Amino acid sequence: MENLTVSIIIPSHNRSSSLRRALDALHLQTYPIDLIEVIVVADSCIDNTLAMLQDYKARFKVQAIEENCRSAAIARNTGAASATGQLLLFLDDDIEALPPLVESHARVHSLRPGSAVMGPYPPKLHGGTTLFEVEVRSWWEEKFYQMSQPGHRFTYLDLLSGNLSLDAELFARLDGFDSAFGNCGGEDYEFGMRLLKANVPFVVAAEAVGYHYEHETNNLDRSFRRFRQEGRSNVLIGYRHPELRPILPIAAYETACSLVDKIVVAVTFFCPAAMDWLAVGLRQSLDVLESLRMRGTWRWLRAKLRAYWYLRGAIDELKSRSALSSFIQGEPAGADLGRHEIEIDLQEGWEAAERIIDEKKPDGIYLSYGELSVGHVTPKFGVEPLRGAHLRSILALDFAEPLARAIAVKGMPKSAAHSEPSLVDNTLLQNLQLFTVLEKKNLKTSS
């Protein structure tokens, strides 16, 4: 196997000590160090980042580029433009890579060329028990755990650019990150959407772990600012990919259910300054709730404030209520057409069904069992096409009851009986009776 040359691109903004830690960690990589080059894009730095980089003694090639864009998207593109490696590895400056990180990325690329490979970067463990810390940490850990499950179906929201690698050629072909996102973030999700449209598979390299020192810079106030940015960036994503509009959280504001929510939305459009003032006041009460350990109320208020700042972000882009409505309803007709759907008879066995799905890569499936209908896996936007590996969790979680009933009537699927004869032979008959019992019970309750 020929080893790939890797360009590690680190955008950084006024975090010289954390950048130094990230660079130090790269010295301990198990990957041949002469194949690694590091490109630091110092974006609008007014601290000692550039001086630190000048003095930094590295055993790999370090290239420092100065930028004045205040945008991670542009910084990453700039870094990629001057990279010489076959592989681009985007790493955040607050991530401390574990020694096998680069090697794992490279290995996955040699096994599955042309994919977008992500490594987990869970928060550096710390014993913080403030409600905010708990929320953030559990979100990240849950995210990486779910993404590393073999049956996980990736969506555009899984494209995280903190520890991401892909072919330099592929990145150039897709024109990199969208620089129009400026400083509002969200360019990684948009890029994820384009990767999915280009049929680039997402892969998690479970060993490419880096520790994320997010707690050093993140806090509640910053998170609210981020939600506002997210509102803005979601509008931009909606402009670029109109089919996503119905599933963006913005859509929820048109259909705000409770009266209070409706009033809040209306007043926000009418007089945002007053609502901002109120939101800032309520933000202070979060601290009071926390000191009283009123978790339920804290979580409720936090969710409300979060939704508020998100809406404010959307308004920053859209300006008016009518613009919001037309944004949501402006989804082009016929987006549903042209989705690739197939029919699968599950009675032929799970393995056979998985093979067909892997072959055809459909967006949706009509599931049947013999002549009985089991259900419809509806096509969705912003997710990868179905793979065989998704099938069993979809069946177990979404179609358990109709499937069990079908098995009760029609018997076991083909290959299952084949693979485990001893277990099935003895109990098959009985199992079927059990299922029939179940069916009777359900019929009774439904009638």
Partner 1 sequence: MATAIVELEISKLPPEITVEERYSKALVLIRLHGKPIGQALLSVVGGGIGGDELRETLMKAAGDNLWKNLLYETLEWDERGSVEVLPIATVAVCTRDRPEDLRRTLDALMQLPDEGQEYLVIDNCPSTDATKELVKNYPQARYVREDLPGSSAARNRALREAKHEFVAFTDDDAAPDPNWLRSLLRNFSDPRVMCVTGLVMPLELETEAQEWFERYSPHGRGFERRVVDGAHCNPLIVHLVGVSASMALRKSSIDYIGLFDEALGAGTPTVGGEDCELFARILRAGYCIVYEPRALSWHRHRRTWEELRKTLQGYGIGVYAFWTRMFVINREFSVPLLAWGWLWYKQIPELIASLRKQPDAVPRDLLWAQLRGCISGPMAYFASRKLLQKMKGSNE
Instruction: Choose which of 392, 410, 411, 414 interacts with partner 1 (CB under 8 A).
Output: 392
- Applying CB under 8 A, the span of 65-73, 145-153, 157-165, 253-261 interacting with partner 1 comes to 145-153
> Strand 36-43 relative to strand 6-12: parallel, antiparallel, unpaired?
parallel
**393 lies in the site for partner 1, by CB under 8 A:** yes
415 binds partner 1 (CB under 8 A): no
Our CB check for partner 1 shows the closer of 73 and 408 to be 408
Nearer to partner 1, 135 or 243 (CB): 135
Strand-pair partners of 40: 10, 64
Please, what is the minimum distance in Å from the beta carbon of residue 138 to partner 1?
Answer: 4
Which lies closer to partner 1 via its Cβ, residue 139 or residue 277?
Answer: 139
87: closest CA among 65, 104, 72, 109? 109
Spatial separation of the C-alpha atoms in residues 74 and 187, rounded to whole Å: 10
Phi/psi class of residue 152: alpha, beta or left (left: φ > 0; alpha: ψ in -120 to 50)? beta
Distance CA 69, CA 261 (A): 37
CB 68 within 8 A of CB 74: no
Tell me the window of 240-248, 333-341, 374-382, 435-443 that interacts with partner 1 (CB under 8 A): 435-443
Cα–Cα distances (Å) from 86 to 6, 8, 322, 354, in that order, read 6, 11, 47, 34
* Rounded distance between C-alpha atoms, residue 53 and residue 416, angstroms: 61
The residue to which tokens 């599950």 are assigned: 346
CA separation for the pair 158, 161 (Å, rounded)? 9
Please, which residue, 273 or 397, has the CB nearer to partner 1? 397
Enter the DSSP assignment of 198.
Answer: T
Question: Applying CB under 8 A, which of residues 47, 66, 135, 243 lies at the interface with partner 1?
Answer: 135
Does residue 54 belong to the site contacting partner 1 (CB under 8 A)? no
Would you count residue 145 as binding partner 1 (CB under 8 A)? yes
Residue span binding partner 1 (CB under 8 A) among the ranges 228-236, 276-284, 370-378, 424-432: 424-432
Please identify, using beta-carbon distances, which residue of 48 and 149 lies nearer to partner 1: 149
Binding span for partner 1 by CB under 8 A among 95-103, 195-203, 278-286, 389-397: 389-397
Cα gap 14→50, rounded to integer Å: 10
446 forms part of the interface with partner 1 (CB under 8 A): no
Q: Which x/- pattern, by CB under 8 A, does the window 272-311 give for partner 1?
A: -------------------xxxxxx--x------------
- Asked if 181 contacts 224 with a C-beta cutoff of 8 angstroms, the reply is no
Q: If binding is defined by CB under 8 A, does position 239 make contact with partner 1?
A: no
Instruction: Give the length of the chain.
Output: 447
| Binding letters toward partner 1, positions 79-118, x by CB under 8 A | ----------------------------------------
437 binds partner 1 (CB under 8 A): yes
**Torsion angle of C-alpha atoms 244, 250, 252, 255, degrees rounded to 10:** -110
Site for partner 1 contains 334 (CB under 8 A): no
> Judged by CB under 8 A, how many residues of this single chain contact partner 1?
46
Nearest of 132, 306, 93 to residue 218 by alpha carbon: 132
CB nearer to partner 1: pick between 15 and 152: 152
Structure tokens that stand for 122 in this block? 């869970």
**What SS3 class is residue 341?**
strand
Alpha helix segments (H runs only) across 292-375? 295-318, 321-329, 350-360
**Is-contact 65 50, C-beta < 8 A?**
no
Q: Least distance to partner 1 from the beta carbon of 72, Å?
A: 27
**Closer CB to partner 1, 17 or 426, in the complex:** 426
Residues lying near partner 1 in the complex (CB under 8 A): 122, 125-129, 133-135, 137-139, 141-142, 145, 149-151, 291-296, 299, 350, 392-393, 395-396, 400, 403-404, 407, 412-413, 416, 423, 426-427, 430-431, 434-435, 437-438
